[in-house]
Amino acid sequence: MPEEARNHERPNSGRLIRHRTLLRNFAAFCVIVIVLWKCLPSATTASTGSPTPLQEVKTHNTLLSAIKSNQELLEGISQGYIYGVDPAASWRKPIVFDPRYSVASMKIPPTHRRCQVSTYIDSEDERQKVNELLQVWKRAWWAFGFEPVILTRKDCESNPNYREFNSSADIEHEYKVRNRKLFAWAAHGAGLYADYTAIPATWFDSDDTLELFKSCNFAHPVKYKDTELDLFHADISYAKKIINALLKGSSDPELVDDLFYEEEQNLIAHYTPDNMEKMFDGKEKSVAETAKIANAHLHHAFLSKYPKGIAVLDPNGDDALKEPAHRLAERLASCPQFEDSDSCPPTQPNLKMAEKLQKSHVPVRSSSERLCGNPCTSRDGISTSAINIEVTPSLPPANSGYFSCVGIAHPLSVLTMVEGKPDVTASSARKHLLRDPTVRALTSGYITSDMVGIDQRLLLVKDAMYTLPSTSNSSWLLWEQEFGQEQVQEELVEWDLGFSMDEKRPSTLQDNKDSKKMTWIQQLGENAVGRVIPKKKTAKNDEDKTAIETWNTGDSEMWKFLFGWLSQRNDELARVVFETVNA
């Protein structure tokens, strides 16, 4: 090449190098701007006007995370501190993802350890008469973390000392009948006893009595004041002393009562006929009415615990995907609608106040709002709740004052509904640069940095799914099992929360005025459900579904974990729900 040509080429090369350098610097600048924008949540809040209460909670949580360190927060998640979970539990260990693995091959946690609480039904006739109240009793104690057990005459007769007690001519018949429950209780192993009229009346976890009950430590024999031995506990060694006292043949109830320490408690409401008359100004209430009122009180207790409201999680920004959770939230926020639903539970403090009002000739029933601070207000016979419902992409902090309703959809379902196409494929998934969008969005309120991987995020979500709703302050649904259904996992949710929800709400998708669009959404959802949970076990392997799971390993593991956990809990609950009384 001539010298002149070489000299002419050098300036062009230099300019090219400078251009490349400028481009690299510009690209680096853009990356820095994006990172700073992601790390400053206040910037987005400021641009959208005044923050909602839920945004304020999240901002506060973000500031706390900044004051502590990301490493400290992640360590807290690893150690299970957020939800009080055993850090060494085998199901918390990350799995090596294999698209061929099924729910059955996953590590599903064992169901929660529950202390038993027993009650006594003396005959089939009694069971039929009190069955509605008995169901309220069982559901409430289950939601509080206990296993309700119904003892019968067979349990009583299985006690080796009962025959001697029952055949004694020195003991009055009424005394024998009244104390059969003690023989049944002792034969069952003693522990906590609560008559079916003794029902938990608060959802707050800080009650000392509740902590004692949950410890399952009943070494000290304790009965509770003004419950007429309808609420007590002792261990088996002390139960034998109680049985021996009964065998002495005295009809004096104080002989047995004196064997217990007596304590006061505010946790349990005692729905006896006498107490109901006190709370309703001398008006009698039937067992069916009492059961309905007690259920309403449990619903009120739930609403009182969450003054900020109910958060509906929408991590994917899609109406159809959030619909089941939103429907559940609406039912939870709705106050019971019937006469006397806004009354007060017969707890010891309320009963004492009712006696004072009666002595002052002040009606107790009309003083209910002042007496117990009912979260539902009644106007023109219609009871309304002050509880708000807010939609958010991420899980609020456990102590935020919100209860969260979360619907988890399989990655294929998410892609189907977001894309609006029934035949999504592996290439459809790869168009989305961000993998595992659901678990990332759900945990963004806790883990604000995009640099944190999936393992820690999965731990946080699994811990929340595993923890009892009364502790995690959240209820988790499987979207594929709920899409288009009138009842949102009704039985499991009601037993989780401790009360039945009277009003059934149709799918909010039916409110859509565009019938063609609604039909299309319904078809999309049904198509996704059919691919994710095939009705036939011999269904052809869906390679695109497998590829979508591989692209979203975190979201897939989260979905399979919830599927397995809910299945296991349903099996456990079935044993309690369908338990029969062999009186």
Q: 132 and 561 in contact (C-beta within 8 Å)?
A: no
Per-residue model confidence (pLDDT) at position 96: 65
Q: Which residue is listed with tokens 């003083």?
A: 367
Tokens of 129: 């008469």
β-bridge partners, 146 = 115
pLDDT band at residue 368 using 50, 70 and 90 as cut-offs: confident
- Are the C-beta atoms of residues 191 and 289 closer than 8 Å to each other? no
Strand pairing class (382-385; 389-392): unpaired
User: Do residues 461 and 406 touch, judged by C-beta distance below 8 A?
Assistant: no
Strand, helix or coil for residue 413: helix
Q: Name the region of 500 (left: φ>0; alpha: ψ -120 to 50; beta: rest).
A: beta
Cα–Cα distance, 7 to 12 (Å, whole number)? 10
33: exposed, middle or buried (Cβ count in 10 Å: 0-12, 13-18, 19+): exposed
- What are the CA-CA distances from residue 494 to residues 31, 141, 146 (Å)? 48, 12, 15
CA angle 484, 562, 523 (to 5 degrees): 25
- DSSP category for residue 232: E
Q: Which residues sit opposite 269 in a β-bridge?
A: 199
Three-class SS of residue 28? helix
- What is the token pair recorded at 511? 């409110």
Count of CB atoms situated within 10 Å of the CB of 572: 15
Q: Mapping DSSP to helix (H, G, I), strand (E, B) and coil, where does residue 76 land?
A: helix
State pLDDT tens for residues 77-102.
Answer: 999 999 999 999 999 987 766 656 55
Q: What is the pLDDT of residue 49?
A: 40
Residue 24 has a pLDDT of 56
Range with the poorest average pLDDT among 16-30, 131-145, 298-312, 553-567? 16-30
Report the pLDDT averaged over residues 238-254: 81
pLDDT of residue 69: 64
**What is the band of 345 on the pLDDT scale with cuts at 50, 70, 90?**
very high
582 pLDDT above the threshold of 60:
no
pLDDT at 40: 42
Tokens at residue 69, please? 């360190």
Sign of the four-CA dihedral 318, 321, 324, 328: negative
Measure CA 260 to chain center. Answer: 35
pLDDT for the residue numbered 431: 81
**DSSP H or E stretch at residue 255:** helix 254-257
Helix axis angle, 411-419 to 319-333, nearest 10°: 110
Are 272 and 197 a contacting pair, CB within 8 Å?
yes
Tell me the pLDDT band of 206, cut-offs 50, 70 and 90: low
> Cβ contacts of residue 522 below 8 Å, gap of 6+?
484, 509
| Rounded-to-integer distance, Cα 197 and Cα 206, Å | 23
Contact 239, 185 (CB under 8 A): yes
Please answer whether residues 318 and 508 qualify as being in contact, where contact means their C-beta atoms are separated by less than 8 angstroms. no
CA distances from 156 to 10, 195, 213 (A): 104, 15, 24
Q: Tell me the per-residue pLDDT of 7-66, one tens digit each, with 9 for 90 and over.
A: 444 444 444 444 555 555 555 555 454 444 444 443 333 333 444 444 444 444 443 444
Counting residues of the chain whose pLDDT is more than 90, the rounded percentage is: 45
Three-state SS annotation for 453-490 = CHHHHHHHHHHHHHCCHHHHCEEEEEHHHHCCCCCCCH
Q: Do residues 87 and 78 lie in contact, with contact meaning Cβ atoms separated by under 8 Å?
A: yes
Share of the chain above pLDDT 70, in %: 77
